[in-house]
Homo-oligomer: A and B are copies of this chain.
């Protein structure tokens, strides 16, 4: 029996300039009195979190700020945030202002201040005990300040478990924020390198969701077996297609505007909308090979320090790590759903001159990457042919993601994809 049912869920959304000033009203309408605001030091320095806190206080809410979220959260950093919230609480709601890291930190806090036990009780098995929350999680408002992660729409909290040197997470429907507030003014000042990498994350959310295995091609599930990520479906498709259409007109323009120092352009606002749409799509369909590969690509970095990011430690930004094997991943998945790959390519670049075939989407994606300054393959971020096996091993650990691919993915398949991604053009 194959599956006949798909599910869809999303946070309520408030979108537009000025939206971040209204959060106090919404939180008060839920009956909240005491709010924990979660952010990170870099975002705190922009002043946006303090302005959000002022808006909360203006509605007679008590606000406690936790501004020590770690960029790329770890089990240790999340435990610190939870300990802070348990000590300073009780709270009635959590407001996260920042990128995916702050929002994911807030998800862990919202879960663990109302539920007993420790972080590892709720982390995905086999690393953790994968316990489901027994008590309602605190309502969470997610206020993204980078355009890309989609964390405001999703049900996952991603973390590095330091002692095991492995990336895993907590995944449960209860972690989805109740309200996403997307105010383009908060993401108006991203430098071009950040906008390019984050934009590739948006693009891959849309492309991976759109090419994910069709929900009806999975085995039929019992209701208790359903997960938030159910494969491509008529609703996720809608979001993915529209995100691709927005990226087609806005992505190069937004990076160009950022290079010229024009903050808050129309194109940047369209990127915020594209990020939201792609998040709503992948938050229900799921992602696959490029995201699976991104884990070891980011995790095994040696020396690469990208422009427009802090230079104090080597890193491959998440969106860049996702992008680096995307063209070859979509060449591999082409034959599982040719018409979807071709349609995605035409949506992303209606003027593409390539012939319909396995190379069209890879060419369109690589051309975009080149134009916006993404490195030309894994070679540029420090990997060589000798690293392929280790990267494959890392990807194979992400079976939850690989299962969403539209066809079976073996270690040899991954070795081909990663090996062909050392240089794209």
Which residues of A pack against B, CB within 8 Å? 3-10, 12-19, 22, 25-26, 223-224, 234-235, 238-239, 242, 273, 277
Contact = CB atoms under 8 A, between A and B. Distances in A.
A7 B18 contact: no
Q: Tell me how many chains of this kind the complex includes.
A: 2
Given A5-B14, A5-B17, 5 more contacts: A3-B16, A4-B16, A7-B15, A25-B223, A26-B223
A12 B14 CA distance: 17
A19 B273 CA distance: 31
15 contacts: A4-B17, A5-B15, A6-B14, A6-B15, A6-B16, A7-B12, A7-B15, A9-B13, A10-B10, A13-B235, A15-B234, A15-B235, A22-B223, A25-B224, A238-B277
Contacts of A17: 4-5
A16 B25 contact: no
A239 B8 CA distance: 14
Contact of A238 (B19, B26, B242): B242
A12 B13 contact: no
Nearest to A132: B29
A250 B156 CA distance: 37
A223 B21 CA distance: 9
Given A26-B223, A238-B242, A14 B7 contact: yes
Contact of A8 (B5, B15, B224, B234): B15
Given A10-B10, A238-B238, A242-B238, A5 B19 contact: yes
| Residue among A12, A26, A235, A277 with max Cβ neighbours from chain B (10 Å) | A235
B18 A4 contact: yes
Nearest to A1: B18
A8 B13 contact: yes
The 9 A-B residue pairs with the shortest CB-CB distance, nearest first, are A25-B223, A5-B16, A9-B12, A22-B223, A8-B13, A4-B17, A4-B16, A5-B19, A7-B14
